[in-house]
Amino acid sequence: RVRESEICAEGLFRGQNGLKWKARRIRKWADDYYEHGHVVSSNRGKHSNILSPIDLDSVRDDCLSWLRDQNPNQLTSLEFKQFLDNYLADKGYLAEGSQLCSTTAIQWMHKLNFKMWDYKKGLYYDGHVRVDVVAYRKVFLAKMLEYENRMVKYIVCNVTGEETTQNPTLEPNKKILVMVVHDECCFSSHDGRKYLWVEGDKGHIRKKGQGKSIMVSEFLCECHGHMRISLEQATENGIDPGENNCNLIARVVIHPGQNDDGYWKNEDVARQLRDSVIPIFDILHPPDDYEALFCFDNSSNHHSYAPDALLTTHLNVSDGGARMNGRAFLRDTTYNGAVQQMATEDGKQKGLRKILQERGVDTARMLKDQMVTILKSHPDFRDQRPWLEELCKKAGHSIIFFPKFHPELNWIERYWSNAKAYARKHCDYSFDSLKVTVPIALDQVPLAAMRRYARRCFRYMDAY
């Protein structure tokens, strides 16, 4: 028996010291299993030589009483630590001026049978490896590598923490490029904290549904953070500050819903970009020296066309027609150096046949599909760009779209995460409170944090 245990120890712990002691332990485990049906664990090193205050019934009861009185949506280990600092100091268990370690507070919460509960919802489909996504990502990264050489870099020293600015070396007739990221985000009145401290297996019951929400459309740049101007700058540039100075920041807040402000569409993004973002950007960044690179996510909403865009989708073969009811007429265009009007003298939208005939195309015996194919091949229809691209190009700025399924490349996502963490911490499940909390949550994100988010996203790009 002894010999067999030594052979086992030598096989399991080959090359290690103390094989005879380990052989004795193997024999002890075998005896325990034969006698009790399981291996008896040892308590060696698992007891404390000093009595902890949490082991006292009075301290334990007071801590449990305080924890149970807290709102699970707002309870954090830091708040428990602050309670313990004051409580233990009053009871004389903590020296004056001393503080409890945050790790100790977490360990005590576990001893009191509190655990971190993960509130999960929804599903996520990962499309990083989809063939079309990978192909576009390569194109995007190549463009961003070129654009990055024209951007100002904000570098933080790892030792001192001081931030320095590194200006780019520009080629002739090139301007400094400023990356302006955009995204929309919804804040719901029933969206509380995701991780909660709960006692045992009690869990926590929340209100059903997400409740009423607030949608925010925001543009951020790395140099200024929130794209905001002062009242003096607005007056000097002839900009109406608006009610409650809402026009001083390139941010739009709506209450989505059929009975409220409706739903966010491409025309709303285009209006925000044209009437608010670009004018504010040009005030903050003189157009003679700076150019914006507007970065949007790759949603179909951002690829929509202007109402009067040169598209064949809604054109009839003949002039007018029911398909044009309520739709804007196509804009006048230029073909072969001549201006072509898209409306007839009696105020109808020209049809495919008349447009092609005016361009010298014989449409006799031609079907509609053939007309559409020919008109789409003409330069003005072929080169028609989405609405947001048109607005950026007209203002002298550039535009790019992030790859699908790549939120880690858009640093505004981390800005939303910071703001939502604040909103969830102060959530009391009422819409009136949400309307007060959301502006504070957005404005409390510091510029240094935004620049840190941007640097991290560029590291992701380098990794890809």
What confidence tens digit (pLDDT) does each residue in 226-244 have?
999 999 999 999 888 888 7
Q: What is the pLDDT of residue 243?
A: 81
What is the total residue count of the chain? 464
Contact 312, 375 (CB under 8 A): yes
Contact 357, 335 (CB under 8 A): no
Q: What is the pLDDT of residue 140?
A: 97
Q: How confident is the model at residue 134 (pLDDT cuts 50, 70, 90)?
A: very high
Q: Is 288 helix (H, G, I), strand (E, B) or coil?
A: coil
Q: How confident is the model at residue 298 (pLDDT cuts 50, 70, 90)?
A: very high
Radius of gyration of the chain (CA): 33
User: Mean of the pLDDT values across residues 441-446?
Assistant: 97
Structure-model confidence comparison of residues 367 and 47, the more confident one: 367
Q: What is the pLDDT of residue 46?
A: 65
User: Mean of the pLDDT values across residues 351-356?
Assistant: 95
Pick from 281, 271, 152: which is nearest to 220 by CA? 281
Q: What is the pLDDT of residue 144?
A: 97
What confidence tens digit (pLDDT) does each residue in 150-166 have?
999 999 988 888 999 99
User: Mean of the pLDDT values across residues 324-347?
Assistant: 89
Pick from 119, 113, 147, 214: which is nearest to 435 by CA? 214
E-state strands within 355-417? 398-401
The one-letter amino acid code at 259 reads N
Q: What is the pLDDT of residue 415?
A: 98
Please, what is the end-to-end C-alpha distance for the chain in angstroms?
59
* Average confidence score pLDDT of the chain: 90
User: Mean of the pLDDT values across residues 399-415?
Assistant: 96
Pairing of strands 251-254, 338-340: unpaired
Q: Which residues is 151 bridged to in the sheet?
A: 177
With 70 as the cut, is the pLDDT of residue 421 above it? yes
Burial of 50 (0-12, 13-18, 19+ CB in 10 A): exposed
Q: What is the pLDDT of residue 93?
A: 87
165 alpha-carbon distance from chain centroid:
26
Cα-Cα-Cα-Cα dihedral of 371, 374, 375, 376, to 10°? 120
Q: What is the C-alpha to C-alpha distance for residues 1 and 352, in angstroms, rounded to an integer?
A: 98
Q: Which residues is 254 bridged to in the sheet?
A: 215
With 80 as the cut, is the pLDDT of residue 378 above it? yes
Q: How confident is the model at residue 339 (pLDDT cuts 50, 70, 90)?
A: very high
Q: What is the pLDDT of residue 121?
A: 61
Q: What is the C-alpha to C-alpha distance for residues 54 and 52, in angstroms, rounded to an integer?
A: 5
pLDDT-wise least confident of 50-64, 258-272, 329-343: 50-64
Q: What is the pLDDT of residue 188?
A: 94
| Total-model pTM | 0.75
Q: What is the pLDDT of residue 201?
A: 76
Q: What is the pLDDT of residue 3?
A: 86
Percent of the chain at pLDDT above 70?
96
Q: What is the pLDDT of residue 177?
A: 97
Q: What is the pLDDT of residue 73?
A: 78
Q: How confident is the model at residue 299 (pLDDT cuts 50, 70, 90)?
A: very high
CB proximity list for 289: less than 8 A, separation 6 or greater: 175, 176
Q: What is the pLDDT of residue 420?
A: 94
Contact 268, 304 (CB under 8 A): no
DSSP-derived secondary structure letter, 420: H
Most confident of 122-136, 204-218, 243-257, 359-373: 359-373
Q: What is the pLDDT of residue 149?
A: 94
Please report how many Cα atoms fall inside a 13 Å half-sphere around the Cα of residue 328, on the Cβ side.
10
What confidence tens digit (pLDDT) does each residue in 62-107 have?
999 999 998 887 888 999 999 999 999 998 888 888 898 999 999 9
With 90 as the cut, is the pLDDT of residue 127 above it? no
What confidence tens digit (pLDDT) does each residue in 162-200 have?
999 999 999 999 999 999 999 999 999 988 877 777 888
Q: What is the pLDDT of residue 122?
A: 61
